[in-house]
Amino acid sequence: MKKNANTKAAKPVKAKKAKAEDQEKNADSLLVATQKDSTNVLAVEPDSSNAGSTANELQLPTPEQLGITISTGFSDAPLKVTVGDTIDFPVTVSWSVQGSAILVVPTSSANAKGIMQLGVSQESSRTVKDGKELAQITFNYKIVVQDTGNLNIPAMRFEIPTPMGQSLDLRSDSVPVRAEAPVSMLPIAVGVVVALCLIFAGIWRMRRRAKAKKVLEKWRDSLSAIRERMIVLKQRVMVADSREWLLELEGICKEYAALRFGVKDASTINLDNLVKTGSLEGWEHLVEEFAHARYGGGIRDSFENKETWKLAMTLMDLEEEE
């Protein structure tokens, strides 16, 4: 009786141990690709001892346990971009080949708030590291940033199918994105153009003022010389010949007219014509005095000449005392 009881108690323990060994064998066989399978899925070799088990009863290992890794190539620091920028976002799935190939199926998109996926391409490669052959598949997502602020490129999801109807799930990390508003160059360009225009306008204004100041100084110097000659002429009014004195006064008036109208040679000035054209208003009486001195002759009183001198000073806007 005791022997039968021990035998019955040992059966459940043996059964559990055998089931655990079967699950470990099945998990190890996930990376063994069948030669007849053309879809490159993770294959499970059939086990007659587990024929009564269903797919749900098989505990699949994690991708990490199988040496399958996924990476994005971006650090945890926020990716700084500008609205409108296009980003190439690679997601790479790597595994140890061990003479097999697997199928990686993307099951999500990169669309998110403020981010839109434009397209995706795929490329495969194999490398040898430390004597082990490694395979990888890179999915290159092309995305565009459409909004400002703190955004996130979502976690990309992938599945690796198995013949049992179950799939290994892979998921990348989300990547933070800091999007800034684009800096428009138009206001800067307009500002530069306006600044240059103001600078050139200032330079032109300064040159114009300097030129006007130079002309004004020249005008004042010439006018001062005319005034000095008029003062000397007044001092001679009592002793000089009346005709010669008036003709000298006419010469001084011609120099003033040349200065006023910008004529270099005062001898070409005709006061009669300037009076007739209205260029010298109020000069009629003075011009008549000059004509009388040239053609009429005769003796004039010094008092009359002095009055003529005062009229000339007034018409030329000169003051006897500075």
- Ordered by start, the domain boundaries in the chain are 2-47, 69-180, 187-315
- Which of the pair, 109 or 127, is modelled with greater confidence? 109
Give the residue-averaged pLDDT of 29-38: 41
How far is it, in rounded angstroms, from Cα 108 to Cα 170? Answer: 11
Chain centroid to CA 78:
23
Phi and psi of 17, rounded to 5°?
A: -65, -40
Reported confidence tier of residue 20, pLDDT bands at 50, 70, 90: very low
Reported confidence tier of residue 150, pLDDT bands at 50, 70, 90: very high
Contacts of 315 (CB under 8 A, 6+ apart): 253, 280, 282, 283, 286
Tell me, what's the pLDDT at 14?
A: 53
Residue 132 scores a pLDDT above 90: no
Phi and psi of 76, rounded to 5°?
A: -75, -15
- Which of the pair, 71 or 77, is modelled with greater confidence? 71
- Look at residues 288, 264, 293, 262 and name the one whose alpha carbon lies nearest to residue 276: 288
Contacts of 49 (CB under 8 A, 6+ apart): 18, 22
Give this prediction's pTM. Answer: 0.48
Give the residue-averaged pLDDT of 125-129: 83
- Look at residues 156, 158, 139, 154 and name the one whose alpha carbon lies nearest to residue 88: 139
Can you list the positions of beta strands (E) in the chain?
A: 69-71, 79-82, 86-96, 105-106, 115-129, 132-145, 149-153, 157-161, 167-171, 175-180
Residue 63 scores a pLDDT above 90: no
Contacts of 25 (CB under 8 A, 6+ apart): 47
Reported confidence tier of residue 111, pLDDT bands at 50, 70, 90: very high
pLDDT tens across 270-290, in order?
Answer: 898 999 998 888 999 989 888
- Look at residues 300, 34, 316 and name the one whose alpha carbon lies nearest to residue 164: 34
Fold of 69-180: Immunoglobulin-like (2.60.40)
Residue 2, token pair as written in the block: 């005791």
Residue 45 scores a pLDDT above 60: no
Reported confidence tier of residue 24, pLDDT bands at 50, 70, 90: very low
pLDDT tens across 177-219, in order?
Answer: 999 988 777 888 888 999 999 999 999 999 999 888 888 888 8
- Which of the pair, 296 or 127, is modelled with greater confidence? 127
User: Is residue 55 helix, strand or coil?
Assistant: helix
N- to C-terminal Cα separation, the chain = 152
Phi and psi of 92, rounded to 5°?
A: -115, 130
- What is each CA distance from 258 to 60, 154, 261, 276, 316, in whole angstroms? 112, 88, 5, 17, 12
